[in-house]
Amino acid sequence: MNKMKSKKTIVLSLGGSLIVPDKIDIAFLRNFKKSILDFVKKGNRAIIVCGGGGTNREYNSAAKHISNPSPADLDWLGIAATKINAELVRVIFGSHAYAHVVFNPNKKIKTSEKIIVASGWMPGRSSDDDAVRLAINFKADKVVNLTNVDYVYDKDPKKYKDAKSIKQLSWSKYLSIVGKNWNPRMHVPFDPTATRLAMSKSVRVMIVNGQKPENIRNILQGKKVKGTIIG
């Protein structure tokens, strides 16, 4: 007799650069929606945490050109950007998704819906941190960070042609590459605050290029995909 496959909960940290690279990427969102619906129709749960991306950077830049905002104020702007992105993602799933965007990742949520969409929460961290907290909250063992690069590199591949990709690395090695302190303008695969929390709670992190639709499908289907595993 065949054994029933256990249902899975997966936490996806969806980079704002995928939702709104320059303008809203309708083709990406359409493909993303299909992949997620195929996943949850099998009884699995998907928790999607939306980043601020370019929207965040544009508003941060405008504020700094006009005034001298504090780091906390810049973070609040970024959180607002994650909220509008998250509302968009929630809306495209319609009745398949939990009816409200989750702001507090520590809150216990009782719902039969298999798709939960979340945004940023508090200053001092990015939405990556919320993804880790939701993984802890829902007892998921890993966070998949969907971004616009194939791997973590030993240095910025956009600046250095000799940058080397890394397929697996320790927490300490990753922090030595990206730094240990958070600032609202960081542009790294996974923020250091979230990394330290994941490390303390033994939540693995996978960095995967979400611009390639097959990567998302393969992750959801439990197939091998290229990327970087941290932890």
Query: What is the residue-level pLDDT of the chain in tens, covering all 231 positions?
Result: 344 456 899 999 999 999 998 899 999 999 999 999 999 999 999 999 999 988 888 999 999 999 999 999 999 999 999 999 999 999 999 999 999 999 999 998 989 999 999 999 999 888 999 999 999 999 998 999 999 889 988 888 878 888 899 999 998 888 888 888 877 667 788 888 899 999 999 999 999 999 999 999 999 998 999 899 998
User: What's the pTM?
Assistant: 0.91
pLDDT confidence of residue 46: 97
The per-residue pLDDT for 5 is: 53
pLDDT computed for residue 130 by the predictor: 95
Within 13 A of 158's CA, how many CA atoms are on the CB side? 5
**What is the reported pLDDT for 185?**
67
Buried b (16+ CB within 10 A) or exposed e, 11-29: bbbbbbbbbbeeeebeebb
What is the SS3 assignment for 2? coil
Q: H or E segment at 40?
A: helix 26-40
Task: Give the pLDDT of residue 184.
Answer: 65
pLDDT of res. 3: 43
Are the beta carbons of 122 and 146 closer than 8 angstroms? no
Orientation of helix 71-93 relative to helix 26-40, angle to 10°: 60
Domains of the chain: 9-230 (3.40.1160.10)
